[in-house]
Chain A
Amino acid sequence: MSSELKIKMCGLDVKVSYGKKRALHGITLNILENKVTALIGPSGCGKSTFLRCLNRMNDTIEGALVTGKILLDEEDIYDSSVDVVELRARVGMVFQKPNPFPKSVYENVAYGPRIHGLAKSRVALNEIVEQSLVKAGLFSEVKDRLHDVGTSLSGGQQQRLCIARAIAVSPEVILMDEPCSALDPIATAKIEELIDDLRRNYTIAIVTHSMQQAARVSQFTAMFHLGNLVEVGTTDTIFTSPQERRTQDYITGRFG
């Protein structure tokens, strides 16, 4: 591994319980800067749970208990001094189903920068909105429809709008939870292309059920099963010669 790799986020012995049910049994995993890390595994394996720990989304789930440490640039994000709202601006999230606010395209993107006070003027805000839409590969498609309601866009456009919304607050890490599972192949291809562009400026962790997608978009892959981390390695290795039997069986379609 090259020495240029820098650890952006790091989970150390992360355990999560929902009430009495233990969902994660102590995960230690690095998320490397400017790389795409794919989290794979059968349903219920804990990959989304781990992803949600990375920006404390589990805080919002009743009865969820997280132990262990999660570091962002070596700072523990579960430390009591951390402002969760600010954390979620630094670690943005894109969900499985596109969920634009029931507002205009423009307002969807402008909302974050506005509440975080990122724009000093109307002109600056316009600039952030436009740049975010450009980075999300959506601007040319919506530039004449900025004041149409976000939900009037196609599914793929809505998902890219959600990515633009996440980008608008200048995050460092973007978490994606099955961002393409509700999209058709063309819209999926556009998102995958976008992910590849985005990793130049952001660190990305993506949960996906599509082995092919994980193989296409990520540089590192972590395989989860029953709340444990089975194997993590370069994506090239995981999909051609995984070391663990469970990884092999899962990615070749023998269980899961």
Chain B
Amino acid sequence: MFTQHTVRSFDKELNRLSKEIAEMGTYAAHIVERSILAIMRDDQKLAKQVISDDIFLDVAERKIDEEAILIIARRQPMAVDLREIIGAIRISVDLERVGDMGKNIAKRTAVLSDVRQTAAFYHGLEDFAALALKQLNEVLDAYACRSLERIDAVREHDDEIDSMYTSLFRDLLTYMLEDPRNITVCTHLLFCAKNIERIGDHATNIAKTVHYVITGTYPALERPKDDQTYRLEIGKSRRIL
């Protein structure tokens, strides 16, 4: 990817950091996938497994942090190397949070099991999670090949997540309006949706970090937000969008 340093062990250290971020990314996505699967299949065993597996990401984040600090202390990195290292620290924080989101979703499997509903209730969440994960994976791919075009392409899709979240929010509100007995399941599903929406935000953060790693500058500040849920209210919900 880069020409080599005169000091070869520096290259090894940077490559290791980059590889660990890739592994962390794969694992974080895997945790989220399985948490959704646990909800869809009402699989308590899988949910427990996901909750306990999240520790891997906590450990990985700390390891990357320590390695990055050591490299800074040892090599006094400059320019692109410095950006690589700062990027790794930031991305690992986002990925650790993505894992937490997956864990939070998995935790709701138990209560959702008590108020099981027809499959229709869950499909929106499944599709939404698939979209957020696609976004996350694309960002991680763009990081792996340090591709500015791919990062910019990913950021074009940010608003898809927002509009899907708004639409899912509206559907769940509708279910609740139809029958108050749906309130428990829909509330929990709303929280799951919120968690997935957060995963999209973390993917966006990572995209910004990758942009910084590659160019040394951040992309233009805040795109206009398309998430409309903060305006949604009962009775008016049908007028939104």
Contact = CB atoms under 8 A, between A and B. Distances in A.
Does A pair with B?
A: yes
Interface of A: 211-212, 215, 239-242, 247-249, 251-256
Contacts of B77: 252
Contact of A253 (B10, B83, B215, B216): B10
Contact of B6 (A215, A239, A255): A255
B70 to A, nearest CB: 17
Q: Interface of chain B, helix or strand or loop or mixed?
A: loop
A31 B216 CA distance: 26
For chain B, give the interface size range.
10 to 19
Contacts of B216: 240-241
Contacts of B217: 241
B4 interface: yes
B101 to A, nearest CB: 32
Nearest to A215: B78
Interface of B: 2-7, 10, 75-83, 215-217
B76 A252 contact: no
A241 B79 contact: yes
Nearest to A249: B3
A80 B201 CA distance: 67
Contacts of A255: 3, 6
B215 A241 contact: yes
B76 A211 contact: yes
17 contacts: A211-B76, A239-B78, A239-B79, A241-B215, A247-B79, A248-B80, A252-B5, A252-B77, A252-B78, A252-B79, A252-B80, A253-B75, A253-B78, A254-B3, A254-B6, A255-B3, A256-B6
Nearest to B216: A241
A256 B3 CA distance: 13
Contacts of B7: 253
